[in-house]
Amino acid sequence: MVPMIALIQRVRRASVEVEDVCIGQIGAGLLALVAVQPGDTPQQVSRMADKLASYRVFADAEGKMNLGLKDTGGGLLLVSQFTLAADTTSGLRPSFTTAAPPNEARLGFAALVKACRERLPRVEIGRFGASMQVALVNDGPVTFWLKT
């Protein structure tokens, strides 16, 4: 089974623009760049949504990373990014044969958005398949690579 992938960054703020129009923005929370791979299952989508809602990357009262988004009430900005699934093991040009085909990826990403919105009060998204400009202020910096 191939894992669904997310690169998450704890942010003070993040936004995504398409054609110079802001289509999603959050304050403190997580920016998640997401790659759907062939055969990602509903169980993997659910597991990723659970991780995005609960992964402990925010400081508690003692300064330890013990809190997740569902604890802090922060925002989640989801951006589809098929390049995360690239095969970079040989040569100097990435191969995208390991990324899900566009229709499968669109459905998988939509399922993840729905699952995250069931778990969290504030979920913003980029536009699937669009050329996007993503801006962020990484808090820490804190960045993690998640797989299901």
Phi, psi at 83, each rounded to 5°: -65, -20
DSSP 55-91: ---EE-TTS-EEE-HHHHT-EEEEEE-GGGG-B-SSS
Phi-psi map region of 143: left, alpha, beta (phi>0 left; psi -120 to 50 alpha) = beta
Other Cβ atoms closer than 10 A to 58:
20
Other Cβ atoms closer than 10 A to 27:
11
Q: Can you tell me the distance from the alpha carbon of 6 to that of 47, in angstroms, rounded to the nearest whole number?
A: 12
Active site residues: 81-83
